[in-house]
Amino acid sequence: MDLEPDLAEPAAELLRRVAPNGVAIEMLPDTVRVRAWLPDDGELPDRRRRLDEGFWHLGQIQSFPEPEYKLVKEEPWEVAWKEHYQPLEVGERLQILPSWMKQESGTRIPIYLEPGMAFGSGAHTTTRHCLEALELHVTADDFVADLGCGSGILAIAAARLGAGRVVALDIDPQAVKLARENVLRNRVADRVQVMLGSKAELETAGGSRGFDLIVANIQASVLEDLIQTGVSGYLASGGRVVMSGILKDQLDSLVDRGNRGGLLVERTLITGDWHSIVFERR
């Protein structure tokens, strides 16, 4: 399936539940190609039915194209599809590459991920907003937190951009396991600590110093709760919090809560329906 970037990760998540041989996310110039390989066995009709039903339900939320099915010769698909994979450039300085690809040239900072494994491939607008904000605001030796870290892409980016210490938190044990693997893959384990946890662990990790920057790419309702429970108190003086995953009709409420919670809007990033906010502690 060739999809708009924001549709790639929901499609990949559905495919992962059904396809026993794995899922691949391939970055193209204007779209994202999501593919899965299904064995031609007695369970194929049931798998196709489950996929068709799943995409129908996704289509009730956002417009999805119908999945295409094609019979291909049996070969190691995990090798064959890599031939055409393209790295993804984000912002002015970052480049996301699959784990097997070497950066051939250029001055961009590489981030290596295993494609198609968890939310946080870099394809989704909300993730790209966060990466662009990190480019703008991470400075040498900053203390950074990534709340809801998923694949660990934002924590890794912060470290590669010069942060001295990064704490990455997620409530999903599988995400924590994957993030730790990606941290090792990118050789930033000396600066990035991945932990199972959420707000309580965030407050403890910040200590008396506080974070220079917190990035949270999660649901707007969780972001509002984060503000209400005093996220500004987790920040160092002049610290910032990047909040992403906000739809247009959720923006005003979040900004108002931020203002009442000691946070001022420094910057807003907008792409289509998605909004992200960089707040600064007053």
> What is the Cα–Cα distance from 195 to 176, expressed in whole angstroms?
7
CA atoms within 13 A on the CB side of 106: 13
Give the domain extent around 274. Answer: 125-281
Number of Cα atoms under 13 Å in the Cβ half of residue 268: 15
Same domain, residue pair 144 and 259: yes
* pLDDT for position 79: 62
Averaged pLDDT score across all residues of the chain: 87
Verify that 28 and 140 share a domain, yes or no: no
In a domain, 65, yes or no: yes
Would 91 be classed as within a structural domain? no
Mark which of 66, 84, 102 sits at the end of a domain: 84
Which residues partner with 246 through β-bridges? 275
Does one domain contain both 129 and 76?
Answer: no
How buried is residue 198: exposed, middle or buried, by Cβ count under 10 Å (0-12/13-18/19+)?
A: middle
Residue-wise pLDDT for 77-91, tens only, equals: 656 556 656 678 889
Q: Would residue 258 count as lying in a domain?
A: yes
Residues 79 and 144 in one domain: no
119 or 250, higher pLDDT = 250
Structural domains of the chain, count: 2
Q: What is the pLDDT of residues 199-250, one digit of tens each?
A: 899 989 998 899 999 999 998 999 999 999 999 999 999 999 999 999 999 9
Q: Among candidates 238, 233, 270, 234, which has minimal Cα distance to 251?
A: 270
Q: β-strand 274-281 against 211-217: which pairing, if any? A: unpaired
Is 49 a domain residue? yes
Q: Which amino acid is at 120?
A: G
Q: Is residue 152 part of a domain?
A: yes
> In this structure, what DSSP letter does residue 245 have?
E
Q: How many CB atoms lie within 10 A of CB 273?
A: 12
Domain boundary among 62, 84, 106: 84
Kindly state the tokens that stand for 96.
Answer: 């996301």
Element (H, E) at 97: strand 94-98
SS percent in the chain: helix, strand, coil, step 5? 40, 30, 35
Per-residue CA distances from 67 to 5, 11, 76, 164, 165 (Å) = 16, 10, 22, 44, 43
Question: Does residue 262 sit within a domain?
Answer: yes
Residue 140: band (very low, low, confident or very high) from pLDDT cuts 50, 70, 90: very high
Percentage of the residues of the chain whose pLDDT score is greater than 70: 91
Residue 164 CB-density burial (10 A; 0-12 exposed, 13-18 middle, 19+ buried): middle
The Cα-based distances of 277 to 129, 146, 160, 207 in angstroms read 9, 15, 22, 24
Rg of the chain over CA atoms, in angstroms? 19
User: Do 138 and 144 meet the contact criterion of CB atoms below 8 Å apart?
Assistant: yes
Mean pLDDT lowest for which of 36-50, 62-76, 184-198, 242-256? 62-76
User: Greater confidence, 282 or 133?
Assistant: 133
Return the closest-CA partner of residue 246 out of 224, 213, 214, 226: 224
SS3 148: coil
Please tell me whether residues 19 and 131 are part of one structural domain: no
The CATH number that applies at residue 196 is 3.40.50.150
Residue 92 lies in a domain: no
Give the helix/strand (H/E) hosting 139.
Answer: none
Q: Which residues, in sequence order, are bridge partners of residue 144?
A: 166, 213
